Structure 1
């Protein structure tokens, strides 16, 4: 046996594997599903490569060469594919890698259930598809940009949800994800020193309490994030972060605003909780 044990690690050294996400479209689906599977192996480090728009056999063979070079340098790479055309799948399967086809088995099962054959047209999932749905997402993104960080109070009555939190708790990325992924109109409002002390919500959003959702985090995490932006400032001090978070959580409770702690959650997780709590539909 080599110095690598069966788990692919040297004594005290985490395993490292190359992981390729190969798609005939944007690669988003391959990344999402592949990363969801890889997340179940936290003891292994992955060097990730996303290769989109592999829509010809020649292109697939070029990718195989890249994968084989990675295999020469270490353990066999992992290859996650979402490719429809059989010829391209066959070419990719020739790579010296462990290949996980994320579509093939499920498409076959679905074809059987529906009694029809799946289309091999490329990019249907992440294509424009339904034009009205596409334009609605774009309008939602424009709305999110206009209403980011309390910049505008115009048309707040059209917001599906108003995210409120102290600075750097994750308002903007969550807002943009909900807009782009689900077409929801989301505003966000920063809680600052000017909003305290007060019993009710800040005046610009007070009328929309039923649409508000709060974010919080841990003082240490907030201090670390703020330190990257303004090091050694009152803004990033642990004391200031503790005060702001305590005030924000008190405000949420007094006004019955649902909230969650963003310190250990991804944008996707936070968005799912917000949609479920606020009963929002994409």
Structure 2
């Protein structure tokens, strides 16, 4: 991005974690090229005093930037939103934007409950995600074959191609029980999957990666090692793809894809459904 690009502050403000405001706001801001956004998250704004403190920070940013900050909020309390609107920021209340039309469509008044989107009271989704995270950690990197019959998906691929972060993301976001198994030279020499994995072939999904990208990642972990050598990375990637092709395992290249894109593709391909709320 050129150094002369205009700077605008973007605030994500919520009475809870501000993750929802940040996710939605960031998705909108990425549509605007040529503008550099300084992003600031302010969570747990659940009182008038905290709202005024947030408004003060917005005012300070406006002075420093010489332009109006963009403010995304998921505040439930109307009074807190009014305080923020008194600041020089351009305020977008995500809840107010969507709640009224939904109330009209559903014919039901919303609860206007603070922190509702992240509540786990009487909600099995929270417990499902915790169990899925524990499962992913216990079945990371082929540590154990025990309990794989509970897995919703088993990710396979060479070391450092993105299996672990994808497994954790699937667990945290969707409550999906994901195990992962690294394909290693012994598997290539054997010419087939380990006996303990073969019966789960329909639940498998493979990740591959460009050798040059893999070499860079591995070199950060083990500099100047055989493990990170480009010729070894090329060999492992080629053999892993050959094995997955022979075993009929669906796979994708993770080199230029985000964890979100990889996870969404896996869920679509394996026909997984996220836990409902």
TM-score by length of 1: 0.92
Q: Distance in 2 between matches of 1:150 and 1:130?
A: 34
Q: Residue 17 of structure 2 is aligned with which of 6, 23, 26?
A: 26
Q: Do the aligned partners of residues 136 and 90 (structure 1) sit closer, same or farther apart at CA in structure 2, a change above 3 Å counting? A: same
1:92 Cα deviation (Å)? 1.0
Following TM superposition, by how much is the alpha carbon of 1:274 offset from its aligned partner in structure 2, in angstroms?
0.5
Q: For residue 201 of structure 1, give the secondary structure of its aligned residue in structure 2.
A: coil
Aligned length: 273
Aligned partners of 1:31 and 1:88: how far apart in 2? 18
Higher helix share: 2
Shift of the alpha carbon at 1:167? Answer: 1.0
1:265 and 1:130, CA in 2 relative to 1: closer, same or farther beyond 3 A?
A: farther
Of residues 258, 264, 271 in structure 1, which corresponds to 2:256? 264
Residues 100-179 of structure 1 mapped to structure 2, 5 A cutoff: 100-179=92-171
TM (norm. structure 2) is: 0.93
> What is the SS of the residue equivalent to 1:103?
helix
User: SS at the partner of 1:125?
Assistant: helix
Measure, in 1, the Cα distance between the counterparts of 2:163 and 2:21. 27
**Are positions 1:77 and 2:69 aligned together?**
yes
**CA shift in 2, pair 1:12/1:61, >3 Å:** closer
What is the 5 A alignment of 1:246-265? 246-265=238-257
User: How much has 1:42 moved relative to structure 2?
Assistant: 4.0
Q: 2:8 aligns with which of 11, 17, 31?
A: 17
- Per-residue CA deviation, residues 153-192 of structure 1 (Å, 9 max, x unaligned), is 1111111100011111111111011112111111001111
Task: Evaluate the alpha carbon distance shift between residue 32 and residue 12 of structure 1 in structure 2; reply closer, same or farther with a 3 A threshold.
Answer: closer
Report deviation, 1:279: 0.6
Deviates more, 1:191-200 or 1:134-143: 191-200
- Of the three residues 50, 64, 75, the one matched with 1:59 is 50
Deviates more, 1:147-156 or 1:67-76: 67-76
Question: Does the residue aligned with 2:17 lie in a helix, a strand or coil?
Answer: coil
